[in-house]
Structure 1
Amino acid sequence: MEVLIIANIYLTSKSVVSSSIIPLLMSGTSFISTLLVPLVSKRFALNKIMLFSQASKTGLLLIFTVALYLWPRLSLLGVCVLMILITLLDGFEGPVTAAMIVHYTTDLIKANAISSVCFQTIDILGWVYGGVLFSILGLYRSLLITIILFGIATWMTSLLPRVAFDELKNETDRQTLIKGWKLLLKNPILYTLVGIEFFEEFANLIWVSTIILVFVSERLHESTRYWGYANMTYSVGITLGGLLVFKISEKLLERKVYSMMTSLVLTASLILVILVIPNSMAFLTCSVLIGIVSQLKEIPEITILQENIPENQMVNISSAFEIISVIRFGMLLLVMSFITQKFGITVSFLLATISLLIEAGLIFKYKKYFA
């Protein structure tokens, strides 16, 4: 995470246009690596994939630092190649991590809660201290500290217990790639989850920078810098929500359906509050609360997914879900952007609220699948 932040700062220092390349590179490259995860996981143990990914990123960062030291005017192409490779390696970690949790523990809801807290805490600290380190210590010292942290992470990854796997030599690559999709289409729990996620994905698009910045400027009359605070409070809320889920995990285990419904209804209500009370402090408060209640749905939902998939097919299903999410995000973002431009930000927020309530109704209708 931090190396991408530093690279982002480096590119921004060159030109604003250059910095816009970053999200495009990360999105496209992540899609490719997610697509390749099933092929890699059928040949190597999951912990070995994680170790290779982490060690390779450490090596790439070291090469980048040396190259930047020897050639201070490193070309934009060189930085972009580095980011493509690191994002490619990062793309393996999401599906692999979800699959490894199933192998390492039986208390899935607590494990997912802790995982959520850790990832969000790292994201918060990475975005905050990545920029601070760069401004105080400069580029090279910041990169040196990052290399040390990457090295420690690589060493810790090497200590993970080995995950047994079935090397399917008789299975063709094509069969491996479509295995997760075939299971998804046959399992009513899985394709129902994919269907209802459509509404939440659409609702969540109001938080994308191009949409929420319209609300910040038009309704709150704040500068673009204010959006950074809102983004931070949301991440803090997710961390607190993960801790809450961990604390009440035993109760949630018995009431996963109602937890998910409650999360969606509360989120819809908070979005309405933001619309009715267009106040800067109220917006930040609601951002924290939305982050908290979001975990009452996200963590039980991940747990349901893990409970209903065979361990040896978890990577395949996670990969399929990630690919669907990327494609769905791109398509729905175009729709939401058009709605915001054509009808205004208020309509977009109202549609997001309705979408969340529809999803809550669908979860109640199909609760037999999630109980």
Structure 2
Amino acid sequence: METTSFRHLWLGQLLANSGDVFYIVGLMAIIHEQTGSAMYLAVVPFIITVAKFISGFIAPLLLDQYRLKSLLVFSQLAKTLLLFTMQMVTITFSWNLVITFVLVFCISFLDGWATPARDAMLPRLVHRDDLIKANSFVATLDQTVQLGGWASGGILVALIGGNQMIWLTLCLFVISTFFMRLLKDNTEQIGEEDNTTVQSKWQSLKEGWLFIWKIPSIRSIHLIYVFEYIASAVWIAAILYVYVAEILGKDQSWWGYINATFFLGLVIGGLFAVKFAEVVDLHLPYVIIISSFGICLGTLTFGLNSSPIAALFLSALCGFLEQVKSISLQTSLQRAASIHQLPKIYAAQGALLSLVFAVSSVIFGFLTELYSVSFSFIIAALLLFSSGIYSTIKKKLLSS
């Protein structure tokens, strides 16, 4: 599995992801210190989601014109320069909320095409038979950063402050850019001969969506993703806060414990998939089906459970099954599509799923307010059960 370029990819992404976490932690600390407003803090994830959706929608135009490596290098370099600009503006003039939000939008906009470029790059750097192991390894790194990054970021920001966290992020971004620059992708670039006309641009924008809709196996995989992303909205902070207070009868520190065990489950799930890559690969459709029903049962039990200790165990179990399922779906998709189709498919996927998650978050928040938090978890479990049934019906299309 190990190649020099694959190593450069995961090292660059590890540093970039760590920087992203530290940047958000530092930014939140600065905004809270400057404004003391919870509303302004809530605006940040909204801006990030909107920016990534818009960027993901227009990403195919860039994917037609430029190589994946070029997009990854430019995106990381531009993020570095934007973050440096934010710091220089603060030093030269004074901190400004509007300018900060504009730069946050721009940085997130760059991520909107970097993410599909990275996901599409991976199958080009490893052998087809090593995809399960490679996806598991990268997913484990991503979740380890999430698990340790927020905790260490919180400690660091308390020790050195938000402003110094931004400088630390800059250092990580610079090194990440260096590793991205070392990538070698010898795959031939295939694009439209004339991308200057309105029709060809429109065709390029539609192409990823058409791949998802017209290719049966890819359509099936994305319908499973949609079920999963709708249901996953039940785990947002707003609903877990209510769950902790009303169902568990604990203070909000337990929200952090539940998050931590969920991410721990994700990490263990990634390690499991690395260790048993051959077994998972051999039974890929069955792994997706079993994990779908497993997450359904775990989500339902979690929502009806009132024991804090049991909640931690169930959270970790759901995280474990979610990671194994996600890796399996990712691998199925990478094998169902050609390496030239993948960039546009991932771009459309990013736009689709970010929109689905955003709308679902609002709907589940409304359901929790109108009925109860347990009712929201029951609905999520029913959606996951539907995903399991659909996966069973489409089992043959999920095979490698």
What band does the TM-score fall into relative to the shorter chain?
over 0.9
Alignment-derived partner of residue 298 in structure 2: 270
Task: Say yes or no: does 1:93 pair with 2:121.
Answer: no
- In the TM superposition, what is the alpha-carbon distance from 1:220 to its structure 2 partner? 0.6
Alignment-derived partner of residue 140 in structure 2: 117
**1:102 and 1:306 in contact (8 A); partners too:** yes
| Identity percentage of aligned residues | 26
Of 336-345 and 314-323, deviating more is 336-345
SS of match in other structure, 2:314 = helix
> How many residues matched?
370
Alignment-derived partner of residue 38 in structure 1: 60
Q: Runs ≥4 in structure 1, deviation > 6 angstroms?
A: none
Alignment-derived partner of residue 26 in structure 2: 6
Give the alignment partner of residue 281 of structure 2, picking from 247, 253, 258: 253
**1:211 and 1:337 in contact (8 A); partners too:** yes
SS of match in other structure, 2:65 = coil
- In the TM superposition, what is the alpha-carbon distance from 1:330 to its structure 2 partner? 3.0
Alignment-derived partner of residue 22 in structure 1: 44
Give the alignment partner of residue 176 of structure 2, picking from 145, 153, 165: 153
- In the TM superposition, what is the alpha-carbon distance from 1:313 to its structure 2 partner? 1.3
- In the TM superposition, what is the alpha-carbon distance from 1:276 to its structure 2 partner? 4.6
Alignment-derived partner of residue 16 in structure 2: none
The 1:353/1:59 distance shift into structure 2, 3 A limit, reads same
Alignment-derived partner of residue 128 in structure 1: 151
- In the TM superposition, what is the alpha-carbon distance from 1:195 to its structure 2 partner? 2.5
Alignment-derived partner of residue 57 in structure 1: 79
Distance (whole Å) between structure 2 residues aligned to residue 206 and residue 141 of structure 1: 34
Matches within 5 A, 1:148-297: 148-164=171-187, 165-171=189-195, 172-297=200-325
Distance (whole Å) between structure 2 residues aligned to residue 49 and residue 200 of structure 1: 29
Letter in 1 for 2:61: L
Alignment-derived partner of residue 313 in structure 1: 341
Of 76-85 and 157-166, deviating more is 157-166
Distance (whole Å) between structure 1 residues aligned to residue 317 and residue 359 of structure 2: 28
Distance (whole Å) between structure 2 residues aligned to residue 94 and residue 223 of structure 1: 36
Letter in 1 for 2:109: L
Task: Say yes or no: does 1:82 pair with 2:82.
Answer: no
The 1:132/1:68 distance shift into structure 2, 3 A limit, reads farther
Alignment-derived partner of residue 66 in structure 1: 88
Distance (whole Å) between structure 2 residues aligned to residue 5 and residue 142 of structure 1: 8
Alignment-derived partner of residue 104 in structure 1: 125
- In the TM superposition, what is the alpha-carbon distance from 1:316 to its structure 2 partner? 0.9
The 1:196/1:67 distance shift into structure 2, 3 A limit, reads same
Distance (whole Å) between structure 2 residues aligned to residue 3 and residue 203 of structure 1: 28
Distance (whole Å) between structure 2 residues aligned to residue 142 and residue 364 of structure 1: 47
Which runs of 5 or more structure 1 residues have no equivalent in the other structure? none
SS of match in other structure, 1:219 = helix
Of 354-363 and 135-144, deviating more is 135-144
**1:46 and 1:163 in contact (8 A); partners too:** no
Q: Per-residue displacement from partner, 1:6-37 (whole Å, max 9, x unpaired)? A: 11211122232221210111010011111121
Distance (whole Å) between structure 2 residues aligned to residue 352 and residue 138 of structure 1: 39
Q: Per-residue displacement from partner, 1:275-312 (whole Å, max 9, x unpaired)? A: 45411122112211211111221111011111011111
SS of match in other structure, 1:160 = coil
Distance (whole Å) between structure 2 residues aligned to residue 176 and residue 304 of structure 1: 24
SS of match in other structure, 1:99 = helix
SS of match in other structure, 2:91 = helix
Distance (whole Å) between structure 2 residues aligned to residue 166 and residue 276 of structure 1: 52
Letter in 2 for 1:10: I
TM-score by length of 1: 0.94
Letter in 2 for 1:6: G
TM-score by length of 2: 0.88
SS of match in other structure, 1:231 = helix
Letter in 2 for 1:29: A
Alignment-derived partner of residue 4 in structure 2: none
Question: What is the RMSD computed on CA atoms of the aligned residues?
Answer: 1.7
**1:4 and 1:83 in contact (8 A); partners too:** no
Distance (whole Å) between structure 2 residues aligned to residue 121 and residue 61 of structure 1: 24
- In the TM superposition, what is the alpha-carbon distance from 1:80 to its structure 2 partner? 0.8
SS of match in other structure, 2:341 = helix
The 1:359/1:344 distance shift into structure 2, 3 A limit, reads same
